């Protein structure tokens, strides 16, 4: 399970960094938003992240912590694919919804996966596991940003966001597979 969480988290952090390199370019040049509207779009995402942090414990109790780890990414990935579909005018709402859903799903995933990791890793290894995970995951940000910049220059901001969104849309598969295998091992019926 820890390996699957590491792979999923790595893909997500990498994809987030790829998109981060072009998000502002996309909002300003492609969607032609003013600085005020860019701020409002980003604020909407931040507000949903706070909402996600508040509702994660309730979601975990209702659906189970393992299920919301991969389920939050399925929902965030699907709705996040709305961002590159956005156009100037009222279709900017697709970007707002996609960014907001992405932020919500990512925070639910982050809280749930770290909680699970802290629950299943023995106490004497927890510091080393957490440090290794942080090193690997944070180390992917510069690589993703670099690739995002290169992709933005070659395929454009919208194309780069498609690439990032595709990675996020598929990122839930390793944890889903690991949790499915784990539940079959615990419950043979």
Residue-wise pLDDT tens digits, 162-184:
999 999 999 999 999 998 886 65
Average pLDDT over residues 77-83: 95
Residue 64 lies in a domain: yes
Query: How confident is the model at residue 180, as a pLDDT?
Result: 86
Query: How confident is the model at residue 114, as a pLDDT?
Result: 93
The CATH number for 57's domain is 1.20.1250.20
pLDDT band for position 86 (cuts 50, 70, 90): very high
pLDDT higher than 80, residue 145: yes
Residue 189 lies in a domain: no
User: Mind listing the pLDDT tens digit for each residue in 17-71?
Assistant: 999 999 999 999 999 999 999 999 999 989 999 999 999 999 999 999 889 999 9
Residue 34 lies in a domain: yes
Residue 32 lies in a domain: yes
Residue 93 lies in a domain: yes
Residue 9 lies in a domain: yes
pLDDT higher than 90, residue 142: yes
41, 58, 76 from 33: Cα distances, Å: 9, 36, 23
pLDDT higher than 70, residue 187: no
pTM of the model: 0.89
Residue 86 lies in a domain: yes
Query: How confident is the model at residue 185, as a pLDDT?
Result: 52
Write the DSSP string, the chain: -HHHHHHHHHHHHHHHHHHHTTHHHIIIIIS---HHHHHHHHHHHHHHHHHHHHHHHHHHHHH-HHHHHHHHHHHHHHHHTTGGG--SSTTHHHHHHHHHHHHHHHHHHHHHHHHHHHHHS-HHHHHHHHHHHHHHHHHHHHHHHHHHHHHHHHHHHHHHHHHHHHHHHHTTHHHHHHHHHHHHHH---
The pair of structure tokens assigned to 182 is 């784990």
Query: How confident is the model at residue 179, as a pLDDT?
Result: 87
- Note down the domain range covering 100: 2-184
pLDDT higher than 90, residue 186: no
User: Mind listing the pLDDT tens digit for each residue in 101-129?
Assistant: 999 999 999 999 999 999 999 999 999 99
Query: How confident is the model at residue 183, as a pLDDT?
Result: 60
Domains of the chain: total: 1
Query: How confident is the model at residue 127, as a pLDDT?
Result: 94
């Amino acid at each position: 399970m820890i390996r699957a969480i590491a792979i999923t988290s790595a893909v997500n952090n990498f994809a987030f960094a790829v998109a981060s390199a072009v998000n502002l370019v996309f909002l300003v040049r492609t969607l032609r938003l003013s600085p005020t509207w860019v701020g409002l779009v980003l604020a909407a995402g931040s507000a949903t992240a706070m909402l996600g942090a508040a509702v994660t414990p309730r979601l975990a109790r209702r659906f189970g912590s393992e299920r919301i780890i991969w389920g939050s990414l399925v929902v965030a990935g699907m709705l996040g694919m709305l961002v590159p579909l956005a156009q100037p005018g009222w279709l900017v709402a697709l970007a707002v919804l996609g960014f907001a859903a992405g932020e919500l799903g990512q925070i639910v995933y982050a809280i749930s996966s770290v909680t699970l990791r802290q629950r299943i890793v023995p106490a004497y290894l927890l510091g080393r596991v957490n440090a290794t995970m942080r090193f690997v995951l944070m180390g992917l940000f510069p690589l993703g940003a670099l690739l995002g910049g290169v992709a933005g220059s070659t395929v454009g901001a919208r194309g780069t966001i498609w690439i990032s969104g595709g990675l996020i849309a598929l990122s839930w598969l390793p944890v889903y597979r690991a949790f499915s295998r784990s539940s079959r091992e615990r419950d043979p019926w």
